[in-house]
């Protein structure tokens, strides 16, 4: 299969798989940065057989000095995934409310945990509904999974490594330009960016509907931000959610080595000794 096929699944293909003898596990990870939780959306209607998994409470650790969405404890994550019916070797499809960010962070988390067979529903729940896909309100009880979490399957940056990458490679800051320049900061206590980071807001590589352009277009857009072959690349945002989508886009563009600074800006500014750059 191509890398794109391995990472994304379209509605029509997913419907065919769900009608087969061995359908993938479905995880509904609808989420909003400022709330309310996506569980109410799930209860109002979801893909048949989908299990809701809370991005904040179940796919991430406790907010604190490591950021607002730090890595989860491996044991806790394993319990969550097994309760959701994730089995070793069984494909998983994740979807969100359409912007693709929460689904990308769920995709990244499962891949980091060592589960390779995970894809994002391209366009999320809105694409499913637009194609007249069936919607259910019942809450399924999946058979217990047996997945074993083996963390470290995808590259991760801590603050020291992020600072080093900004000098030796390309560190992408995918927040909107005013936050990068330090002109506004609606979430974190300090405005600005990691010195040496390059700004490429998410709108440069993904549409508002969570759909990605073709691989060639992605490569061109990343190249415009300084992403070149043979040069290490990583991404950060406010708390590691939007940046996970950037890492997914980089995979689609042929850079499976792309690293995620999970703590992102919310971890960086938790230590006042770390330098902060402003301006373009």
What is the set of domains in the chain, with CATH numbers?
3-130 (3.40.250.10), 156-268 (3.40.250.10)
* Rounded Cα gap, residues 103 and 130, in angstroms: 18
Give 23-72 as a DSSP string: PPEEEE----TT---THHHHHH-B-TT-EE--HHHHSS---BTTBSSPPP
* Rounded Cα gap, residues 231 and 238, in angstroms: 24
- How many Cα atoms sit within 13 Å of 252 on the Cβ side? 29
User: CB–CB of 198/177 below 8 Å?
Assistant: no
Q: What mean pLDDT do residues 126-146 have?
A: 97
* Predicted local distance difference test score (pLDDT) of residue 33: 84
In this model, does residue 5 exceed pLDDT 70?
Answer: no
In this model, does residue 1 exceed pLDDT 80?
Answer: no
* Predicted local distance difference test score (pLDDT) of residue 245: 98
More confident position, 268 or 280:
268
**DSSP run (H or E) holding 278:** none
pLDDT band at 3 (very low <50, low <70, confident <90, very high): very low
pLDDT band at 4 (very low <50, low <70, confident <90, very high): very low
* Predicted local distance difference test score (pLDDT) of residue 2: 39
- How many Cα atoms sit within 13 Å of 35 on the Cβ side? 2
User: CB–CB of 250/258 below 8 Å?
Assistant: yes
DSSP, collapsed to helix, strand or coil, labels residue 275 as coil
Q: What mean pLDDT do residues 158-182 have?
A: 98
pLDDT band at 230 (very low <50, low <70, confident <90, very high): very high
* Predicted local distance difference test score (pLDDT) of residue 35: 81
* Rounded Cα gap, residues 204 and 39, in angstroms: 30
* Predicted local distance difference test score (pLDDT) of residue 148: 98
* Predicted local distance difference test score (pLDDT) of residue 260: 99
102 phi and psi angles, rounded to 5 deg? -65, -40
Q: Which residue has the tokens 């990472």?
A: 7
pLDDT band at 37 (very low <50, low <70, confident <90, very high): confident
Q: How many CB atoms within 10 Å of residue 222?
A: 24
Q: What mean pLDDT do residues 59-67 have?
A: 97
**Pairing relationship of beta strands 198-199 and 170-173 according to DSSP bridges:** parallel
* Predicted local distance difference test score (pLDDT) of residue 78: 98
Please list the active-site residues.
Answer: 237
* Rounded Cα gap, residues 227 and 237, in angstroms: 17
In this model, does residue 106 exceed pLDDT 70?
Answer: yes
* Predicted local distance difference test score (pLDDT) of residue 11: 98
Q: What mean pLDDT do residues 147-153 have?
A: 98
Q: What mean pLDDT do residues 166-177 have?
A: 98
pTM of the model: 0.96
Beta bridge partners of 233: 170
Look over the chain and give the mean of its residue pLDDT values, rounded to a whole number: 96
pLDDT digits (tens, 9 = 90+) for 85-104: 999 999 999 999 999 999 99
Tokens of 108: 């990244």
């Amino acid at each position: 299969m191509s890398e794109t096929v391995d990472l994304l699944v379209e509605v029509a293909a997913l419907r065919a798989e769900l009608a087969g003898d061995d359908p993938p596990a479905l995880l509904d990870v609808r989420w909003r940065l400022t709330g309310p939780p996506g569980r109410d959306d799930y209860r109002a209607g979801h893909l048949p057989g989908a299990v809701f998994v809370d991005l904040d409470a179940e796919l991430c650790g406790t907010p604190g000095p490591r950021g607002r969405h730090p890595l989860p404890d491996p044991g806790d994550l394993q319990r969550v995934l097994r309760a959701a019916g994730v089995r070793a070797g069984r494909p998983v499809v994740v979807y969100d409310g359409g912007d693709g960010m929460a689904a990308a962070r769920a995709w990244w988390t499962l891949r980091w945990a060592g589960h390779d067979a995970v894809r994002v529903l391209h366009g999320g729940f809105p694409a499913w509904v637009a194609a007249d896909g069936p919607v259910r309100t019942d809450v399924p009880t999946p058979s217990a999974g047996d997945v074993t979490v083996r963390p470290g399957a995808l590259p991760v940056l801590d603050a020291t490594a992020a600072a080093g990458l900004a000098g030796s490679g390309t560190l992408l800051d995918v927040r909107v330009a005013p936050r990068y320049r330090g002109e506004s900061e609606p979430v974190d206590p300090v405005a600005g960016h990691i010195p040496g980071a390059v700004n490429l807001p998410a709108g440069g590589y993904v549409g508002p509907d969570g759909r990605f352009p073709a691989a060639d277009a992605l490569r061109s857009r990343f190249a415009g931000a300084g992403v070149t072959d043979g040069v290490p690349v990583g991404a950060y945002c406010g708390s590691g959610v939007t940046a996970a989508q950037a890492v997914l886009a980089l995979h689609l563009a042929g850079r499976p080595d792309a690293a995620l600074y999970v703590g992102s800006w919310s971890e960086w500014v938790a230590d006042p000794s770390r330098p902060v750059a402003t301006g373009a």
